[in-house]
Amino acid sequence: MSGKLYLCATPIGNLEDITLRVLRVLKEVDLIAAEDTRNSIKLLNHFDIKTPMTSYHEYNKMEKAYTLIEKMQEGLNVALITDAGTPGISDPGEVLAAMCYDAGIEVTSLPGPAACITALTLSGLSTRRFAFEAFLPPDKKERKAILEELKSLVDAGAELSQETILGLASFVPDVQAELKRVNAESPTVKGVFDSDEETDAEV
């Protein structure tokens, strides 16, 4: 009988944010796959978790995924954790989850901290509908294409976070003036461009 993959959300700043269920699963599984074992060992030590760890990150995600799947096919249960937040959101966890489904391995997600949702609820913006854009690709053409898509949201009247606005202004020609025109009265945009300081803010 095959094992299972557990996607375990970990704290994004305060260790008290971890759930009792995640703590139990991390203690019960056979192996923990961590984005950075040097970082995750601090979490495990804090909660006295002795489960063996192995690394699973952006640079070994394909090769290591096959290894982890083989272990689960042998009956081992594996927990996947990131440095902070929910696995699969802007990290290689999505690759492992997809490959597990293809291999017929059960995947379950243990709810917990997620930076994008935390930021949204703190933003004061409407939460009825929202779009999340992960890390932008390093290729300039791909990056510009994505930012142009985001610009279309502004044209449609969407309100953006200050980080997104500044990111757009940094990469898309003339978008600063366009943003001012479209959302001139928006409490989100108003005042963002009052400073002449440059920024490398993530979108």
* Residue 203: predicted pLDDT: 42
Q: How many CB atoms within 10 Å of residue 130?
A: 14
* Residue 195: predicted pLDDT: 45
Closest alpha carbon to 89 in 78, 79, 81: 81
* Residue 34: predicted pLDDT: 97
Enter the tokens of residue 94. Answer: 């999505």
26, 32, 64, 100, 156 from 50: Cα distances, Å: 9, 10, 21, 25, 51
Q: Which pLDDT tens digits describe the chain residue by residue (203 residues)?
A: 899 999 999 999 899 999 999 999 999 999 999 999 999 999 999 999 999 999 999 999 999 999 999 999 999 999 999 999 999 998 899 999 999 999 999 999 999 999 888 888 888 878 888 878 777 788 888 887 887 787 777 666 566 555 555 555 565 555 555 555 545 544 444 444 444 444 344 44
